[in-house]
Structure 1
Amino acid sequence: MMYTTQMDAAKKGIITEEMKIVARKENMPEEVLREKISRGVVAIPANRNHKILSPEGVGEGLKTKINVNLGISKDCCDIDEEMKKVQLSIDMKAEAVMDLSSFGKTEEFRKRLISDSTAMIGTVPIYDALGFYDKELQDITSKELIDVVEKHAKDGVDFVTIHAGLNTATANVFKRNKRITHIVSRGGSLLYAWMELNHKENPFYEHFDEILEICQKYDLTLSLGDACRPGCINDATDACQIHELMVLGELTLRAWEKNVQVIIEGPGHMAINEIEANVLLAKKLCHGAPFYILGPLVTDIAPGYDHITSAIGGALAASAGADFLCYVTPAEHLRLPNVDDVREGIIACKIAAHAGDIGKKIPGSRDWDNEMSTARQALNWKRMFELAIDPEKAIRYRKESMPENADSCTMCGKMCSARTMNKIMQGKDLNILRDDS
């Protein structure tokens, strides 16, 4: 039996090879996974032209996935340097890499990314439009914007961010409701500017059916972008953010009717007490579609440390039901991240995702922690390093300050609680002050 997309196959009762791989990774029965994909609550972004992809599932009941943003810009256009970040991301087991390149002819980088990456690849086609056509934004036509989407799909991109929810009605809500940071989404601001300069409807909204046809052709997953995501905690959960979310919910149903998989993108910056409500609202208004969230950053005062503000929000969001976390690096708001920034961002995001999995009770999510706790109590340093989320850093810290007694660390020495309890529980002498071990 033939099928066009993963969702089409799922609705027809077909278990694809991608579904089999994801089911094994998630330790989930294939039929359970197929049923979730058929309802749209799980997506497997897998463009049929991405030949070396190792498929991943995003959505209900699955482990929280993480995405790494990178790409060339006018000030930093070294493709080889970006490819180092790509390889690092794959080595560190990030499930997705998103190419946010915004300068020049980006096709070379995008094609290298797709040919070399086993992780799923995302893009934001409107970033590429100015360089692709070598035109000012106002002069690019609706058709040309849609054509860039098809170009990315044909190249093998697994999911694309399309800001289709910023229609004229949403724009008018934005105009009537003052914000501190206006529209901070790069793609959203470009689209809003295009609409204002040309006095026209958002072409991604107006021609949404054409985009769905492209998605069917290549099995391209739509990541419905949040153009009106808040850029500071003051702007969170306001009228234009919620209006856009309602539009995205309507577009989700239209996509599912055409068997196109959908991921919903979410905020940005948000006070810590609003996170759970926002996740629940997005899931409700968008019919349980997988939820992809940037952070959220829980405070605006920490440039240089936004991988931390993001991880706090990401852990809470994942615990409340968010399915996909976009990493934030220490360089957020300051510059393009370097390789070390990318590493720090990935580690922080992986911690947040894992903490979220524990919170939403993903089967087996506590096993890793229990193994680490067992190794800690046994003072089994080798095993602790093997289990560490960043073994290199853990080993370096240990070597930088070696204790007199190998079964302790330089924080507590022979007063180590684990050492004390191990000896007492085994009926041994404690000998804290004596030189013998």
Structure 2
Amino acid sequence: MLIRDAKKGISHDIWEVSRREGVSADQLRGLLASGQVVIPKNVARNFPARAIGKYMSTKINANVGTSKDYDNPADEVEKARVAVKYGADAVMDLSTGSDIDAVRRRLVKEIDVPVGTVPIYHAARKRKNVVDMSSDDIFNSIREHAKDGVDFITVHCGVTMSTLDRLRRDPRVMNVVSRGGAFTIAWMLHNEAENPLYEEFDYLLEIAAEHDLTLSLGDGMRPGCMADASDRAQFMEVITLGELVGRCREKDVQSMVEGPGHVPLDEVGTSVSTMKKLTRDAPLYLLGPLVTDIAPGYDHIVGAIGGSIAGMYGADFLCMVTPSEHLALPTADDIREGTVVTKIAAHVADTVKEGQRELARARDLDMSRARGGLDWAKQYELAIDPEKARNIRETRMTASDACSMCGDLCAIKIVKDALKESKR
């Protein structure tokens, strides 16, 4: 197990990650051992390890997966390849189609980044109705995913009778928008029983420990609109998740915590800082956050704005949002666009993030020098999306070595030439 190994010394994965992140191996070892950093990697898999958490570069995740309406596993695997090509550090399978095993097993076999899943989707598909799932269905799905080699799973352990009671007492505009959270609530209400993932958390820890499965403690109560942000139900769940993080660490199980959701711009910092405090500085995994509700078709940009600010305040892992968010299952082009925009947000966060600021700003400085020298090859090399940058310029070429916006009236070129002339 990675945490147990870290408590003993510096492993190969720690050395590998420390070089990539620009931190010392001993510092990374300490952060991993304390639970402030996770390295999602199932014991059954072999790929270049990636670290998520304190002092590490901000990572991004891309969601793929079939649905009942669009059930083509091959398309989803291809979307995952596109996401990784354009910078995704992890891929999560949210499949709910008929062959729910196909995408997961192909991703684990064919994609060389951490793969995550939400096993309750699998468990729900075993029965005609979500409420007919048994506790065994849920845990058997978790065990199956772990055996298949999945590296991290979302489990909505903080959706409890107490948080549900709080939701009832403080009504929302949109109630619950988390699919896994909704499944859990429906099951609890129908069966008049506590959430099995909370009640049998020790059993979950046993499975996770056996496979070095990272638990992503899901935000079943995340707000689905601005009006519902930062309410009591959300933070009551976070308090519970903080307690569960402590139990994970006692058993040397890696864990991170998921967060909202839709959050007003001026509440993002408070939300992130509070969640970090309540969860003992566990790695924080956010969807967005989206900072306005009125931009369907552009929610990837909205999410990137929120993600940059969240990263500045300590968020560690940003879940990609695509232009299709709230509208439809994303296409491969949507995945590419969402991945690149989220990658930009992660880099922006890194330019002010402790442990990464110097490395991130050095890249910006290199780009500034390349622009100052009109070095187009270097600019393409440093760009987050080199293909798009090259395509835009080379399809609109000018006779000048500047861009076609200014041509021979390029400010950089004019001053450069003037300075040369004055020296002569």
TM-score interval, normalised by the smaller of the two chains: over 0.9
Does 1:385 pair with 2:380? yes
Identity %: 44
Contact 2:127 2:133 in 1 (8 A): no
SS of the residue aligned with 1:66?
Answer: strand
Match of 1:415 in 2: 409
Looking at structure 1, the residues matched to 291 and 217 of structure 2 have their Cα atoms a distance apart, in angstroms, of 23
Does 1:367 pair with 2:362? yes
Task: Return the offset for 1:395.
Answer: 1.5
Contact 1:165 1:247 in 2 (8 A): yes
1:230-241 alignment runs, 5 A limit: 230-241=223-234
1:276 is aligned, of 269, 273, 298, to 269
1:214-229 alignment runs, 5 A limit: 214-229=207-222
Looking at structure 1, the residues matched to 87 and 380 of structure 2 have their Cα atoms a distance apart, in angstroms, of 17
Contact 2:87 2:340 in 1 (8 A): no
Match of 1:244 in 2: 237
Match of 2:2 in 1: 6
Does 1:91 pair with 2:118? no
Looking at structure 2, the residues matched to 422 and 294 of structure 1 have their Cα atoms a distance apart, in angstroms, of 45
Match of 1:321 in 2: 314
Task: Return the offset for 1:428.
Answer: 5.9
Looking at structure 1, the residues matched to 390 and 42 of structure 2 have their Cα atoms a distance apart, in angstroms, of 39
Looking at structure 2, the residues matched to 42 and 402 of structure 1 have their Cα atoms a distance apart, in angstroms, of 46
Does 1:43 pair with 2:43? no
Supply the AA of the counterpart residue of 2:412. Answer: A
2:15 is aligned, of 3, 7, 20, to 20
Match of 1:432 in 2: none
Task: Return the offset for 1:399.
Answer: 2.4
1:189 is aligned, of 151, 164, 182, to 182
Supply the AA of the counterpart residue of 2:56. Answer: L
Judge which range, 383-392 or 275-284, deviates more.
383-392
Task: Return the offset for 1:394.
Answer: 1.1
Looking at structure 2, the residues matched to 400 and 249 of structure 1 have their Cα atoms a distance apart, in angstroms, of 52
Looking at structure 1, the residues matched to 6 and 382 of structure 2 have their Cα atoms a distance apart, in angstroms, of 36
Task: Return the offset for 1:425.
Answer: 2.2
Judge which range, 227-236 or 396-405, deviates more.
396-405
Looking at structure 2, the residues matched to 309 and 254 of structure 1 have their Cα atoms a distance apart, in angstroms, of 35
> Deviations for 1:383-430, whole angstroms, at most 9, x for unmatched residues?
212211111111221123222322x2222222211112211222269x
Looking at structure 2, the residues matched to 119 and 294 of structure 1 have their Cα atoms a distance apart, in angstroms, of 19
1:21-170 alignment runs, 5 A limit: 21-50=16-45, 52-131=46-125, 133-170=126-163
1:256-335 alignment runs, 5 A limit: 256-335=249-328
Looking at structure 2, the residues matched to 226 and 249 of structure 1 have their Cα atoms a distance apart, in angstroms, of 12
Contact 1:103 1:128 in 2 (8 A): no
Contact 1:41 1:290 in 2 (8 A): yes
* Structure 2 segments unaligned to the other structure (5+ residues): none
Looking at structure 2, the residues matched to 111 and 316 of structure 1 have their Cα atoms a distance apart, in angstroms, of 35
SS of the residue aligned with 1:223?
Answer: strand
Looking at structure 1, the residues matched to 396 and 110 of structure 2 have their Cα atoms a distance apart, in angstroms, of 40
Supply the AA of the counterpart residue of 1:15. Answer: I
Judge which range, 270-279 or 89-98, deviates more.
89-98
Match of 1:376 in 2: 371
SS of the residue aligned with 1:402?
Answer: coil
Looking at structure 2, the residues matched to 104 and 208 of structure 1 have their Cα atoms a distance apart, in angstroms, of 29
Looking at structure 2, the residues matched to 339 and 108 of structure 1 have their Cα atoms a distance apart, in angstroms, of 18
> Deviations for 1:157-200, whole angstroms, at most 9, x for unmatched residues?
11100000011000000111111111000100111111111111
SS of the residue aligned with 1:366?
Answer: helix
Contact 1:54 1:120 in 2 (8 A): no
Q: TM-score, normalised by structure 2?
A: 0.97
Contact 1:255 1:261 in 2 (8 A): yes
> Deviations for 1:191-228, whole angstroms, at most 9, x for unmatched residues?
11111111110110011000000011000010000000
Q: Kindly report structure 1 stretches of 4+ aligned residues shifted beyond 3 Å.
A: none
Judge which range, 208-217 or 73-82, deviates more.
73-82
Contact 1:405 1:413 in 2 (8 A): yes
Supply the AA of the counterpart residue of 1:187. Answer: G
Match of 2:246 in 1: 253
Supply the AA of the counterpart residue of 1:319. Answer: M
> Deviations for 1:75-100, whole angstroms, at most 9, x for unmatched residues?
11111111111111222231100000
Looking at structure 2, the residues matched to 280 and 412 of structure 1 have their Cα atoms a distance apart, in angstroms, of 44
Looking at structure 1, the residues matched to 18 and 384 of structure 2 have their Cα atoms a distance apart, in angstroms, of 24
SS of the residue aligned with 1:67?
Answer: strand
Contact 2:41 2:212 in 1 (8 A): yes
Task: Return the offset for 1:118.
Answer: 0.8
Looking at structure 2, the residues matched to 405 and 353 of structure 1 have their Cα atoms a distance apart, in angstroms, of 34
Match of 1:434 in 2: none
Looking at structure 2, the residues matched to 182 and 72 of structure 1 have their Cα atoms a distance apart, in angstroms, of 25
Q: May I ask how many residue pairs the two structures share in their alignment?
A: 422
Match of 2:392 in 1: 397
1:336-375 alignment runs, 5 A limit: 336-361=329-354, 362=356, 363-375=358-370
SS of the residue aligned with 2:359?
Answer: coil
Q: TM-score, normalised by structure 1?
A: 0.94
